[in-house]
Amino acid sequence: MHVEKNIAENILMTFLRDGLKDSLNVHLDMKDMGIRPNLWPQEIQGNQNKLILPMPPYSFTKKEENEFFEFIQRIKVPTGYSTSLQKHVLSKKLLGMKTHDYHVFLQQLLPLSIRHSLSESVRSTIMRLSLVFRKVCAKEIDMSKWNSLYEETILVMCLLEKTFPPSFFDITTHLLIHVVEQVKICGPVSLRWMYPFERNMKVLKQYVKNKA
């Protein structure tokens, strides 16, 4: 469940214009690594102290960013499905979202919110990633199809590496491979995640009168 949250946060920090996953240092790192020369910082003629960052295919334009937050503010979900995401939108940022909110956002809402934004390769990669999470989090899993799910997960990880900058990847992103491996050993993720226990802890905390 926390793998979903961290990957969704990484995606948002990459898509948004002021995201931490796409900065000058990220573009300079790609130049040092000798990869993606079309995204290297460009010097302004006559002024070597100022650099221009090319528009990457994995970041929203100003119009796309406005459309993304308008979609989030308009969407309505059934009672108990998730919290209202409208209250988490503040200064073109999604703040204060819980783990279950990211669970719903990554699997259901994110593919809808970018269906007319970004490049086709980025949209396709995110949609395939969402589909992998939906299959992993299903209540019933056909183990005869586990090999195809594992191969799809590896392919999605390769597409993420081709699509997003190196700063997108951390240990949590890599853990997706092991989550799929655990399905074969331990069964469906829904039998092992922490959502029921966190909800029960909220009920138990209400019984505490003297918090001192």
Q: What is the DSSP string of 59-116?
A: S--HHHHHHHHHHHHH----TTTS--GGGGB-SSSB-S--HHHHHHIIIIIHHHHTTT
Nearest to 112 by CA among 81, 157, 76, 164: 76
Q: What is the pLDDT along the chain (212 residues), one digit of tens a residue?
A: 688 888 998 898 888 877 667 777 888 888 888 888 888 888 777 666 677 888 888 888 889 988 998 888 888 888 878 778 887 887 777 888 888 888 889 999 999 999 888 889 999 999 999 999 999 988 888 889 999 999 999 999 999 988 888 888 888 888 899 999 999 898 888 888 888 888 888 889 889 988 77
The pLDDT value given to residue 46 = 61
The pLDDT value given to residue 37 = 85
Task: Tally the residues of the chain.
Answer: 212
Reduced DSSP (H G I as helix, E B as strand, rest coil) percent helix, strand, coil of the chain, to 5:
60, 5, 35
Q: Which residues of 86-115 are buried (b: 16+ CB within 10 A; e: fewer)?
A: eebeeeeebeebebbbbbbbbbbbbbebbe
Please give the DSSP secondary-structure letter assigned to residue 177.
H
Q: Does residue 118 sit in helix, strand or coil? A: coil
The pLDDT value given to residue 126 = 94
Nearest to 85 by CA among 76, 68, 100: 76
The pLDDT value given to residue 147 = 93
The pLDDT value given to residue 48 = 62
Please give the DSSP secondary-structure letter assigned to residue 201.
H
Beta bridge partners of residue 43, listed in sequence order = 51
